Every structure is written in C-alpha cells, then in structure tokens.
Structure 1
Amino acid sequence: MSSVETKWRWLLVTAVAPISWGATYYVTRHFLPADAPLWGAALRALPAGLLLLLIARRLPRGAWWGKAVILGILNFGAFFVLVYLAAQLLPTSMAASVMALAPVVLGIIAWPLLGQRPTAAAGVAVLVGVVGAVLLIGAATGGIDPLGAAVSLTALVLSSLGAVLTTRWRDDLPLVATTSWQLIAGGAILLAIAIVVEGPPPAVSVSSATAYAAIAIVATALAFLCWFAGLRHLSASTVGTVGLLNPATGVILGVALAGESLTALQIFGLVLIGAAILLTQRRARRPVRRPAADGPALAVPAGAVRE
C-alpha cells in the first residue's frame, strides 16, 4: 500500500470520530429525555470507559488515580452533562457549530499552561472565530436560548482545559488505557450525582436504549479509539482539519432531518468559524519543548496547530 493510500486510510478512520460526535447532538435532542442530563452523561461515559478498559487491560497507578479523576471530570463528566444540556437547549446545528471554536480556545489555554505562545496568525484566527460564533448564535431565526449558548461555550472551555492538561500530564502510557480511566472516573462521579439529584434512571424505550448504546459505543468508545489512531498516524494539523466534520455533521443533520434552517448571516458565521480553524491549522511549525529529565513531556495538543 502506497503512502498516499495509507494516509487516506487513516483519514477515513479518524473521520469516524468527528462525524459521530456531530451526530450525537441530533440523537440526544430527538431520542433521549430532556430532563435527565446527569443520567444521560453517566450512561454515555461509564459503559464506554468499561469497554475501553477491557481492551486496555490496565489499571492506573500512582499519581494517575488523581489525574484520572480531574481529567475525567473535565473531559467527560462535566463536559458530557453540558453537551447533553446544549443538545436539548439549542438546535442541532447551533450546538455542534459552537464547538467548532475548540482549536482556537485550545490555543489560548495552551499559552499559560504549556508555554506555547500564540502567533499573530493565531490572534487573527481568534478574532475571526469569535465574530463567526457571534453571527452564528445571534442571527438565528426565532432567537437562541442564552442559557443554551452559555452551556455550550462552558462545555467548550472545560473540554479544552482538559485536553491541555492531558497533554501536560502525558507520558508513555497507552492512550486507550488513560482514556478508559478518565471515562470510568467521570462516569462513576456522574452516576453517584445522578442517583442523588435525578433519582432513579429514566424510563428506557427501545429507541432511547438504542440511542444510549449508540452514543456510548460508537460516539464515545469507538470514536475516541479512531481519534487516537489518527493522532498517532497523522499530523495534528491534519487531524484538526478532519475535526471540522463535527460541526458540519451537526449542521447537515439539523437541516436535513430536523427541519432546521440557517439564515444568510449564520451561514457566513459558519464560513468564518471554518476560516478561523484553517488559519489556526496553517500556523508555522514550532518545536516541541523538551522537558527536564524528570518532567512531563509537553506536546502540542491535537486542537492546537502543528504540522
């Protein structure tokens, strides 16, 4: 198999992740109960984590017990709850599109925590992306729920912080193993809170059970495996560009299946968000900072731009 064919194969594998994540908004909004976000998040994280643990067959040791809890809350626990709420409060296309700013937010957070100072091009990308997001949210027909917008943006910030901390604490452990620990930690905390706050689990119909299973297995366990595979075989900038399929999928499903519509300004906002991410992806290559002998490896996060 030629190098071009190999690259395309990994591109297709990686694309499974953002496409499934984009579809999650539609599935959550139309097939899962709106009044059980904690149970919805727990039933997504915990089964996926257990499934990945069966694959990894490895338990955390030492400091990773604490790291797994912190990252589990940021990357999966709080994030999944907020994404669940955003999917119920916002149209599918809007909920997915706001998350398109992830590479920009990642670059901002990586500056103080990883010492990766944004370039002038990154500053332009931030400005363009923010303008696009404002147009996308503010120009919606019928108005956008302010709470939904705030929830979606909060989810974006928390997940970006989790991604940067994951990079800061990165070591030679398998990604499947560390991801399973985070999912289990986040899912266990969600389960305990869901029992106290929301009571018994929501009634499950055939359609909702299928939706829960699809999100846990496909949009979480399988998606993260594909995403990590892409990060191992493709450049971060290539993977980040493939990630644009997330909002694109959300918009397509929202318009095609949910009867949603976009105004001209919103379409322009989407174009600006895409341009912002492409600007970020075109940033010049910068060397990875080499840590001290006893320090953690500092690598550029997947959303930040690095060839």
Structure 2
Amino acid sequence: MSRRGWALFLAMSVIWGVPYLLIKVAVEETSPVVVVFARCVIGAALLLPWTLARGQVRPALRHWRALLVFTVLEMTGPWLLLSYAEVSLSSSLTGLLVASVPFVAALAARLLGGEERLTPVRLAGMGLGVVGIAALLGLDVEGIALLPVLAVVLVVVGYGTAPLVASRSLADVPGVAVSALALTITALVYAPFALPRVGEVADASVPALASLVALGVVCTAVALVLFFALIREVGPQRALVITFVNPAVAVVAGVLLLGEPFTLGLAVGLPLVLVGCVLATQRNAPAPAPAAVDAAVP
C-alpha cells in the first residue's frame, strides 16, 4: 500500500477498534436500539449539513437503490446486532469474531467476478486468520450464548459485502454524502423504537453518555469519511483487512479499561489474526505485459 493508504489503514484500525468498548459501556445502561439511534443522530448531524451545503444530496439519491442496500448492510442491520450481542459477549471477543470480515469480502468478490486476485500469500494470511478465530472459539467457547454469536455472524456478512456495493455502485458518489444519507435513513428507521426510550439517555451515567457521544462523533462521522477514503485508496477487500487489526485494539481496551479477562483463546488467536493481516494486505504483483509479437497479431 502507499504511504497514504497505510496512514488511513492505521487510523481506521484504531478508530474502529474502539467501538466495541464504547458499545459495551453504553449497553450497560441503555438499550441497543437507543445506542444505534443516538450514534446515527450524532453522526448525521455532523455530516448532513456538510453534504447539503455542497449540493451532494440530490446526485446521491439518484443511486437510491444501491444506497439503501449499503445502508442495510453497513449500518441498519449490523449496528443493532452488535449492540445486542455485546449485552452478553465481551467487547474483545466480539472484536475478534468480526475479524472474519475479510474472508466474507474475498468470497463475495470472487463470486461476483472481482478483478482482485487472491494470491497464495494473501490466501495464507487469510488462512492464518481463520485458524486464529478457530483457536479463539475452540478455547473460549464455554459459556458463550449461541444467539449473540449468530448476531455477530450476520454483522460479518453485512460488513463483508457493504464495501463491495459502495465500490461498484456508489463509486461516483462522495463518501460523505453516502455516509450522511445512510445515517439519516438508519436514524429514521429506529426513531419509533428509540424515542419512547429516550429517558434512558437522561438517566445514564457520564461514562455511558460519553460513550454515546464518542460513538457518534469519532467512530461514526469521522470514521466513515476515512473509511470511504481508504476504500478508494486500496480497494474494498484490502480496506476490510482493518478488521484483522481492530481486535488488537478491542482486546487491549477491554482488558485494560473494562477488566475483561485475557483468556488463552485471546492469547493464541490474536497473534495469528495479526500475522494474517500483514500477509493478507500484500499487494498483487502486476500482471505481465503481453509480448510484442502477440500485440502485432491481428
């Protein structure tokens, strides 16, 4: 990757490693639907005025079908499912489960005829990631409820396919416009369910309120702008490899700030997914140019 690509990659790895901690804190005192609604309202309040001022709303709405699909896959479904899952799962475990997103993205791209080749080195990196996740689940599976894990699986499917929609059908739409409209749509969807529970926010503690604000400002508004820039810089599959690094941030934050246990599964699985990240981000070698004699053949 280029220097700009690595800068965006590292920034997103940190920024989207933090939400698992913030969601865990928030759902202790507010319901999952309130967490998603607050996150979307704050993010939309920051990005929508920017989009309106630049006249980008109407051009973006011309792609409304792809925009709706992206919104459902990236926000409306996954964010509620993540909040639900973290009611019972630890933030570090949730982060590691989401590390399987690049595998779904690679499979989806392959099925849809993408041009990005899966070289042996990249496949080896993804294989190490799979082994790391298997070690995690195999060593830490005791006492884990099935439904929250299935919820995270659905999150992985959404996160793995949404960037493909963005890169193929929304490439001509500014990322800020896509993010602003997607956040607004998701907020409207959950408003009827969240507004009757708005009292939960008023009664929440300072840490819970701070978590909601940080989710909306840093992990939503800022993060989505950077994520679209990363997709355009390195492509959707390589951009999603941030989910290999996010767990490291999630684990450290969960252990140090929430007192979550650093289990054997984390100790074995985390290094494997990080090594897998390095290998899976290797850039493909350029295809060999055709021989001169071939170019002359009519």
Quickly name the TM-score band, shorter chain normalised.
0.7 to 0.9
Change (3 A) 1:202 1:248: farther
Q: Counterpart in 2 of 1:68?
A: 67
| Aligned counterpart, 1:157 | 157
Ranges of 4+ aligned residues in structure 1 off by more than 6 Å: 234-238
1:170-203 deviation line (CA, Å, top 9, x unaligned):
33221111221122122221223545xxx43342
* Distance change in 2, residues 1:154/1:231 (3 Å): closer
Partner of 2:114: 115
Contact 1:129 1:272 in 2 (8 A): yes
> Could you tell me how far apart the structure 1 residues matched to 2:141 and 2:236 are?
36
SS class of match (1:262): coil
How has the CA–CA distance of structure 1 residues 134 and 242 changed in structure 2, closer, same or farther, with 3 Å as cutoff?
A: closer
The question of 1:25 aligning with 2:20 is answered yes
Q: Which has the higher helix share?
A: 2
Structure index of larger Rg: 2
C-alpha RMSD over aligned residues? 2.9
The 1:128–1:169 alpha-carbon spacing in structure 2 relative to 1, beyond 3 Å, is: same
Alignment of 1:45-194 (within 5 A): 45-57=40-52, 58-61=56-59, 63-116=62-115, 118-140=118-140, 143-194=143-194
**Distance in 2 separating the partners of 1:163 and 1:228:** 9
Aligned to 1:203, what secondary structure does the other structure show? helix
Contact between 2:18 and 2:249, CA under 8 Å: does it hold in 1?
yes
Q: Which amino acid aligns with 1:191?
A: A
User: What whole-Å deviation, never above 9, does each CA across 1:158-179 have from its counterpart, x for those lacking one?
Assistant: 1211111112203322111122
Question: How far off its partner does 1:251 sit?
Answer: 0.5
Could you tell me which residue of structure 2 aligns to residue 249 of structure 1?
249
The counterpart of 2:198, out of the listed 184, 190, 201, is 201
Equivalent AA in structure 1 for residue 140 of structure 2: A
1:20–1:202 distance in 2 versus 1, CA, 3 Å: farther
Residue 296 of structure 1 corresponds to which residue in structure 2? none
1:236-294: CA deviations, max 9, x gaps?
A: 7885565544111100011112222233343222222223333321252467xxxxxxx
Specify whether residues 110 and 168 from structure 1 end up closer, same or farther in structure 2 by C-alpha distance, changes over 3 A only.
same
Does 1:280 find its partner at 2:280? yes
Q: Look up the SS of the partner of 2:97 in the other structure.
A: helix
Out of 25, 31, 36, the residue aligned to residue 36 of structure 1 is 31
Q: How far does residue 97 in structure 1 lie from its aligned partner after superposition? A: 1.2
Q: For the Cα contact (< 8 Å) 1:125–1:280, is it kept in 2?
A: yes
Q: Do the aligned partners of 2:68 and 2:182 also contact (CA within 8 Å) in 1?
A: yes
The reply to whether residue 224 of structure 1 matches residue 219 of structure 2 is no
TM-score by length of 2: 0.80
The answer for unaligned runs of 5 or more in structure 2 is 288-298
CA distance in 2, matches of 1:216, 1:275: 31
Q: CA deviation at 1:36?
A: 1.6
Specify every segment of 5 or more residues in structure 1 that has no aligned partner in the other structure, as ranges: 1-5, 288-307
1:141 and 1:201 map into 2 onto residues whose CA distance is 35
C-alpha change, 1:220 and 1:72, in structure 2 (3 Å) is same
Query: What letter corresponds to residue 7 of structure 1 in structure 2?
Result: R
Q: Describe the superposition over 1:209-249 as per-residue Cα deviations: whole angstroms up to 9, x where unpaired.
A: 22211110111001122333445566878855655441111
